[in-house]
Amino acid sequence: MHRSLEQPQASPKATGILLFLLLLNILNMVDRTLITSFGTAIITDLGLSDSQFGLLTGPIFVFFYSIMGLFMGALADRVHRPRLIAAGLVLWSALTAVSGVAKNFAQIGVARLFIGVGESAMAPSAISMISDMFPKAKRGTATGIYYLGVPLGAGASFIVAGILGPMIGWRNCFLLLGGLGLVLALVLLFIKDPERGAMEEKGTEVDQQESLIGGNWRSIVSDVFQVVKSTPALAWTMVGAVFLHIPLGAGQFAIVWLERERGFGIGEISATYGLVYIIFGTAGTFLGGILSDWYQARYRGGRVRFLALLMLAVTPLLILFRFVEPSSALFYIGMAAGMFSVSSFYGPAFSTVQDLTPVRLRGVMTGLLLVACNLLGLGIGAMMTGVLSDVFSANNIFEPLTKALLTADILSAAAPVSFIIASIYLEKMKARA
């Protein structure tokens, strides 16, 4: 069937659901980032090496988060999405609480593993729901609003560590956040799942989803492979996402680096870092969605070209950030610029992937993007940084963690190149249409 000639419009209820999804994403990121915020305390309390901490924040978490993201993405294309999110929320909240009573690397490692499983249900379901609640012209903005949860949540976790941490300790902070998640899961049981394909433009086929709902996993994998293979713009967007997330993975050592090699006391920088993250990360996420929609409507190359140009503009500040003294204004300017540019990724990239993906595959394709971002990007970035830091330290290299972080920063330069290539293929697609 085809939709009517009328352009679809989002309902007021859609805005309310979007804001609740934003709240859940904030909680998601607080729970996920809390281990980073208390990095120094956890390393000391549990007797961890940098490599072990890199494992906790990288592969141990992101492997199952990423792999299960594909499974959850496929489920999101088949089942009631709010209830799927609720199940994931219960699991990750319970294991966040368990993290607060861990006594060694093995115990907190198992908890982090299953936190990743629970959190993997969130993004594929939420992004798929957003695409069914908002028309194509507004998806960049709507997705950007949802991903405000990343800087708000991550920033809030650092503020919690800096303010609440000294009062009740890192373990009680984990227990508190876990309990909050269990309460919020109840609300999801009363949210209706949006109609699939309801916001597609005139002439778009929307009844193909039925074949997926009744299909098998082999056909899903085959369909996804064919879409990626036949759509180079989609493939290169995912490649860019991988390289962009390498320094994000390395960023799990941010507080450890600031305390160990930039002279800040334990907990001294956490609240400031969190506040900068909230202000500039939120600005980047929000404006990234809005400005990418504006850019796409007026210029060639789509949202991904806007993202590439922004990243190229701030790259010099990101590199300078690693070398200047903390007393310099450039130190905080570089910190702010990095948070702004990285956070601007979500609206342009995820909405581009949704635009290029058939309705019936949006959930699983979002899961595939998360695999690319997290398993390859975050996982490699965190693990590489921890290992390099230990190796550099063993060889008596000055400021080993700085050198490890700089390596990740340099690798991220491939991201804007990939996004530019994606934008070229987007223009070729438009020319053929």
Asked if residue 212 has pLDDT above 50, the reply is no
Residue type, 132: D
Domain presence at residue 291: yes
* 207 occurs within a structural domain: no
Number of domains into which the chain is organized: 1
Distance CA 199, CA 270 (A): 42
Give me the pLDDT at residue 135, please: 84
Could you tell me if residue 5 is inside a domain?
no
pLDDT of residue 215: 52
pLDDT tens figures, 244-291: 999 988 988 988 999 899 988 777 788 888 999 899 988 888 888 888
The H or E element that residue 432 is part of is helix 414-432
Residue 327 neighbours by CB distance under 10 Å = 7
Work out the number of other CB atoms within 10 angstroms of the CB of residue 186: 11
Which residue, 234, 352, 376, 335, is CA-closest to 288? Answer: 352
Amino acid at residue number 423: S
In the numeric block, which tokens belong to residue 17? 């659901």
What pairs with residue 2 in β-bridges? 205
pTM: 0.75
Each residue of 32-55: pLDDT tens digit? 889 988 988 999 999 999 999 999
The model's pLDDT over 76-99, given as tens digits with 9 standing for 90+, comes to 888 899 999 999 999 999 999 999
CA atoms of 370 and 352, how far apart (whole Å) = 14
* Residue 39 belongs to a domain: yes
**Residues near 46 by beta carbon (within 8 Å), at least 6 away in sequence:** 102, 103, 104, 105, 108
Give tens-digit pLDDT for 96-146: 999 999 999 999 999 999 998 999 899 889 988 988 888 877 777 788 788
Residues paired with 205 in a beta bridge: 2
Look at residue 1 and tell me if it is in a domain. no
Assess if residue 323 is contained within a domain: yes
State which residues form the domain around 310.
Answer: 12-188+220-432
CATH of the domain at 290: 1.20.1250.20
Give domain status of residue 87, yes or no. Answer: yes
Place of tokens 């390596």: 407
